[in-house]
Structure formats: structure tokens, C-alpha cells
Structure 1
């Protein structure tokens, strides 16, 4: 039987046509008409006016912090339940991250704990400048509450929307909830450019500064002139063509993943000891990955036994994110809370969720999962 992957790229065929246009135009290096069009089209989809296409979501986060002036001596609050890139981008600037636990009811950044964390760090003399709030597995954070906390403490809110393209928050598309937002188009995301990202903001000045920095901070003169340190972070015209083709089918991809998530719920209904990631009432998730929590006492085996049983049948599943405070590289950093994300990591599992997953493949996943109990 063919291997079932967690979240493989879903190619429609339209990519070939647009990549062919890019090659025919001889724009095969970074920048070009496909990049310009991809920026405009994604801006329209997410409802944020300004965008710059970049080499990765990590690059987008890094530049977001750089253009905000975050640097050595600063501290940045960061969702603790996330992929390492969220925190790595902070360290690239020379600033220091501290981590805030997830809310049990949404798995996203706990706003009350964030309020306490910023207060405590400020009372200790820390210069807290920003918050990186991470949308998790396709679900947005509760940004109205987070924005109020950030405003009260006079810190900037940055949205890590790497996993939430196509989701909504209070009826608005994900990506417009912070001063800047970063998207990822990595190979496993809901749309992909094989590798790539996008930084969006309502602020033209911030995005144009990021655009300049992303091309080695060249000054607009005939020769190579540099007045600040830049980065080689721009997306290629060919990859932007792939992204444009993928973006055209975003609504269908979201609908497919939500249907897969709902079908897992139906097929696993009544399986004692299995619970699903909750969907927050303030928005709709894009269901990027369907996530379950395995209670070993009730289900009969633990999460790792389930994962290994799936792997034995050539089915890829993955533990939930290992929280940052448990990562060796960030072991010495301050954490507020941590028990919620630690438990979710210990018991949580991401199931195959790609938008091209067939019913037959999903049936195979479910049958293997249930049979793992013996």
C-alpha cells in the first residue's frame, strides 16, 4: 500500500501553466511579474493592503521584528506551544524570548497569562517590546483580547499566521489581526511554493522597509550602496507562480480539510479516550491538521503507541509541537505556565490531513488507529 503522508503538497496542474509563463518570460530569478501578482492576490485574499513575498515564513517573522526595531536588550513574549521558528526569529534579532502557555480551551496563547507575564517581566526591569502570537494548527488566537493586553502594556502585536491561511477571526480573514503578520508556504502548508512566505501589514512603511531589507538593503542608486544590514530573503518568480496557482484553490482546500476533520470526528465518535482539538467560537479554523489527544488510561494505549502502530502501516502521524520551554535550546528562558502545552505534547497526535486525502486512505488511518488498542 502507498504511504499516507501527514500533509503532502496538493498540486492541481495549474502550477505548470503559470511556471511555464514565468520561464517563457525569462523571469526565473528573484522578483518579477509573478511575485508582484502573488503579493497583490494574497493581499486581496487576506484583506491586508501591503505584502512582500519572501523565502520563508521564518524570514517574514524575522523581518517583522527587525522593522519594528526589536534588537539586543529587548524581550519578546512568544506563544510557548509552537514550532521553533516562532522563537528563532526573535533570537535572530538579538532579543530574548520568554514563553507563555496555551489556553486549555483553544490551544492558543493564554491572554490572561500573557498579561501577568508582561507585568512580571516589566516589574523585574525587562524591556518588553512585542508579542509573537501563534495561530495553531489553523486556528487563530483571540486577537481582540490580545490586542487589549498589548495596548495596555504598549507592546506591538505580531501575528504568526504560518498555519492559519484561510481561517477566519470574527468573520475576517486571518492575517489582519496584528501590526504585521507572517504566512508560510512550506511544503506541508495548506498552499505551498515548495518553500516561501509572505509578510503583510496595513502599514506601507513597514512593508516597504521589509522589502528593502529582503534584497540586501540596496539603496535605489545605480551602483551597490548599503546603509543598513540586509538579508537575501526574496521569493523567486518561479516559486511565486506556483503560489499563485495554489492560492486560486484556497477555498476548496480549506473546505476539504474541514471535511476531513469532520469525517474523523464521525468515524472516531465513541472511541473512549480520544478527544479533538476544540474549535474556538470566535472564528473558523482552516483545519490545517486534524489533532487528537489520546488519554492512555481511557484509550488503552498512549499517543506514542498509536503513532508507532500507524507508522508500521506506512501512515505518517506526528506528535503535537514540543513546547519551547521543553526544547534544550531554550531551556534557560523564562516560561509562564507550561503545564497545558506539556500535556498536549505528551498526549497529542496530528493525523494525516492533506486536502487530497481520499476517503479510502482516511478509512485506513482510522482502522489502524482503532486496531492499535489490540
Structure 2
């Protein structure tokens, strides 16, 4: 095993022939395992409940429910791949072979793309329902929604398929590691192009959907306020879905986007700065732990974005909790008649039926 002095030299000094040496398991070996264990535990619990609601408690399906169900599937694909990553980090050694390494990385990065794309579709669907209720987009059938879902999966998986064609095993013997971007020195031109494409996708698939989410949120808020539909509390309630998705985006996907841009800048303008390259690469790998936190937070999105899911979840709750909630709603409804604008807002929500 290399001494601390040699390790520092290797990480901060360009390797002979140019480029920086591969990055080993250092910072992420300490930080990632507990983060990923929390992600897997909460993610499986929340998504198993969500899957049970969708499969056995939801009486009818509509396009929004179908989009959310696809989001559950995307989360499960990521969650089943994380235990292998946790094992490798704890061992500081990948023992599952080249094939599983390719599949593991493919599932990890496909989940990020699929989660972002599907949450964006859900936000756009809500935006059209509220702001353009008479648009023919809102007449989408379940079959058409299934076609949209398949298109989304093809769109996000297509650019990731080339990852399966190349080995991402670093090192040899009992020190092999499964990383996608740790060094370019030993990489072929195809790998360099593949990693560059990955970084471009990582940035674009955050910036473009985030801009669309902010647009949808602002338009929904201004539309409801302009129509004066309900009290401020009603408007805030209508905004919770967009706010929940924006919050998940910022917490889970912004750090990876920032660190990826940092690595990109260093590789382009300071290729000799191996210390900075090492630091940002480690931070990028660590930030992946936040990417998978979305699998644990997505059930919150289901609650805020689908009244059908919310009602099914409440119906599945213990009777004591249901009675307490129902009692509060009855008290609130008996304390005066609704105004015309409140009825109009309720009508719009009913038309959403999502």
C-alpha cells in the first residue's frame, strides 16, 4: 500500500506523458456509505409503499398517475444498484466483475436522467391543467401517456447505452475499482468522448428542466393570483407540487451539476492542476449520494402532485389518523359557505383529478 507521502505526490503531480493519475477511494469512502445506506433504507420504504398504493389501492389510473408510476420504477432501478456500490466503498475494492460494473453505472446515471425527465413531465402536466385547462393536451388518454412515458425512457436511456460497451474497471488484482471518471491517462479516445458527453448531459439535463420548472411554478402562481381564485392559503396549496419538485431538484441534482462543471473547467483550462482535479472529482463522486436521495424524496412528490394517490394513501392509513383528519376537514367545511372564487378553484382542482 502506498505511503501518505507517495499518495500526495501521485494526486498532485501530473503523470509521465501527461494527464492526472487515477483517483482512488478517499473522501467518498468515508462519506458515501452512510449517505447511501440512508438513501437505500428510506428509498425502499417509501417506494414500496408507493408501489403498493399504485398497484393495489388506486382505483383508477390517469396520465399523471402513469407518469408517477414510471418514476417509482426509475427509483427502484437505482435502489437495487446501490447495495453493490456500498459494498465496494466499504471494501475499497470492486469484487463483482466488469459486467456488473457496467450495469451498475448504467443504472445509477439512468436513474438521474429518468427522475429529472419524469418530474419535469409531471410539472408540465400540472401546468397545462391549471393554466390551459381547455387545451387538447389535457385530453390525453392513458394510451397516449404510455407512449409519452416510453419516449421519455428512450430519450434518457439512449445516451447512456454506450456506457455498457466499455469497461470502467480501474486498477488490477485485489485493488480494482468501478468508476466512470477518475483519469484520462489510460483512457481510449472513445472513453474520453463518452465521459465528455456524460458531463454535457449532466449539466443540460439539470439546467433546461430547472428553467422549465421555474417557468411552470411562476405561471401557475401568477395565474391563480390574477384570477383571485381562493385565499392566499389556497394559492400556496396549489403551488406545493411545483415547490416540492423544485426543492428535490436543488437538493439532489444541483451539487452534481456544480462539481461536474468544476471538473470540466479544470480539464479544459488547468489540465496540469491535478490537485484541483482530484478535489473536484472526489466532490463529484460524493455528490452522487445526493442524486440518489431523490429516490427517498420522490414519495413526497407523489403526495403533493396526485390527489388520487393522496386519497388512496389516506384511505390506507390507520382509522384513528383518518378520523382525526376527517374531523378537521368537517369542522373547516362547516364554518361558513364557500365564496364563488373558492368554488371555481375547487372546480379546477377537480378537473385536474391527478
Relative to the length of structure 2, the TM-score reads 0.24
Relative to the length of structure 1, the TM-score reads 0.23
Name the one with the larger helix percent. 2
Rg larger for: 2
